[in-house]
Amino acid sequence: MKKSIAIDMDNVIVDIETNWIGWYEKEFGVRIDKQDLLGIPEDDAFPDPVAARSLIYKTGFFRDAPMIQGAAEAVLKLQENYDIFIVSAAMEFPNSLIEKHDWLNEHFPFISWKNIVFCGDKRIIDTDYLIDDHLKNLDFCKGTPILFTASHNVNVTKHKRVNNWNEALALLEVG
């Protein structure tokens, strides 16, 4: 039986950070440098955190986000050896539900609806691995946690870390 991997969306396959910076500049005319986000919790990363958070609720915010480099090719490779589930805590932002669904259909058409999970707390998800950027998910997962690097987590020292999808493939021994 194949082992299973749960893969988070934002900051793992979706480049929500680049997206957020772009929307912030477009809406408020302030360009944030990615370097300034390093080690900062996402909610505190912008000069006006309330304004930054308001963007999350805007139509198109999740639908138009770019993909993390190499994500689709890597997940397609992983799928040869693993059961892949895309597991996103989308329930916090109900407006994101259909947008995230449509984004997956466009960028990851090889993922069946049967393998997509939109949830809140990921503690009830039981897979052999979880690739995620947040300790709130990794610390409580039932399988092996894999920390995917995002600006906000660069100072985290827990869990096995991968900096990109090439490193993830190497770790999971898929080349």
Contacts with its own copies by CB under 8 A lie at 4, 6, 85, 91-92, 94-95, 97-98, 101-102, 112-121, 124-127, 142
Neighbours of 138 (CB within 10 A): 23
Name which of 40, 4, 7, 86 is nearest 17 in CA terms.
40
- By C-beta, is 60 or 120 nearer to its own copies? 120
CB of 134 to its own copies, least distance (A): 13
| Residue whose entry in the numeric block shows the structure tokens 């912030």 | 24
CB of 124 to its own copies, least distance (A): 6
Nearest 5°: CA angle at 154, between 153 and 156? 65
Answer yes or no: 133 catalytic.
no
- By C-beta, is 64 or 126 nearer to its own copies? 126
Given 10, 15, 132, 133, the catalytic residue: 10
Answer yes or no: 132 catalytic.
no
- By C-beta, is 2 or 34 nearer to its own copies? 2
**Which of 86-109 are b and which e, b meaning 16 or more Cβ less than 10 Å from the residue's Cβ?**
bbbbbeebebbeebbbebbeebbe
- By C-beta, is 38 or 135 nearer to its own copies? 135
CB of 76 to its own copies, least distance (A): 18
CB of 30 to its own copies, least distance (A): 30
- In SS3 terms, 64-116 reads as CCCECCCHHHHHHHHHHHEEEEEEECHHHCCCHHHHHHHHHHHHCCCCCHHHE
Active site residues: 8, 10
